[in-house]
Amino acid sequence: MLAKSVPEIPRPDRVTGGLSYEPKWDGFRALVAWDGREVVIGSRGSKPLTRYFPELVDAFARLLPEPCLLDGEIVVAVGEPGAWRLDWSALSQRIHPAASRVALLSETTPAMFIAFDLLARGRRDLQSAPFAERRAELVDLLAEVPAPVHVTRTTPDADAATRWLAEFEGAGLDGVVAKPLSAPYAPGKRAMFKIKHARTADVVAVGYRVHKSGEGVGSLLVGLYGSDGELHNVGGVSAWSDARRRELIDELAPLVERDEDGSAVRGETDRSRFSSASDVSFVRLRPERVLEVRYDQLEGSRFRHTVQFERWRPDRDPRSCTYAQLESVTAYDLGAVLD
């Protein structure tokens, strides 16, 4: 079951009916199946996650009171008591091919599971039940279950959800989700609403990847200047029409860096643990063109998600595109979100 983006916290109306609001956790979406003998953890992208989180497999087998199918999020938190926050980088490192590394990370950066829906309990399939009933069953099922298994908090108050949107980002959360209380579980359908932070920044075009079809620009890589005076890769922009992809090849051609023999200079970005076989090479561009993008949040020194193109900024000096323009977020203790 998925969520569609909306620009602001929705209010109950004739279309949505009653709504339940909850924090949007920034982790790995996971379906946890426990049949009383075996734990299986699946991901939204159909990638099996069971082997990467042995500490959660052990916890589910010990702590879950009866067979069930849970929908939720796997997260990793770091920091000191009172200054705890989610850490996407630490979570992403948990996906490792070496069993010895997986075992080590399960001890040094243990994960938590945040449950937010219950699809089955015992022999009962709950997917056709309204969310209000599934939520009540979830709370009842996990009422006595301790960490690292948690039930996400909810509120029926749109004003409280608005405060959460502002405050919980400081703990590393991703926004707010609104769920119709009367809705059944709808796999693959965008039946929920997600509200994420939307900000803009001026960034420098530093390169592009060719589209997987072999024609046009697939994604445009962008950068910001740091306090060290160096240009740092901060993410990518994609989602153009096929016609626009081909146009961009011609528009960016004058900026392509070339060797003495005239061939385009290529570079490589870091390889993702989820797509280790993917081509990470890109065509380098001279850092002369500025564009404005929409983004939701930073993870370290990079944009957490793919950013969205707003417009070209021919009036901006590339050197003026620094991290200083980005909005800082007030810290918030993750422990207060879990309570």
Residue 37 corresponds to which tokens in the numbers above? 């003998």
Q: What is the DSSP string of 9-50?
A: ----BTTTBSEEEEEE--SEEEEEEE-SS-EEEEETTS-B-G
Active site residue 194: no
Residues near 226 by Cβ (< 8 Å), separated by ≥ 6? Answer: 232, 301, 322, 323
Residue 135 corresponds to which tokens in the numbers above? 């939520």
Collapse the DSSP code of 195 into the 3-class scheme (helix H, G, I; strand E, B; otherwise coil) and give the result: strand
CA pair distance 51, 102, nearest whole angstrom:
8
The answer for 7, left when phi > 0, alpha when psi is -120 to 50, beta otherwise, is alpha
Given 24, 47, 189, 212, the catalytic residue:
24
How many other CB atoms are there within 10 angstroms of residue 141's CB atom? 19
Active-site positions? 24
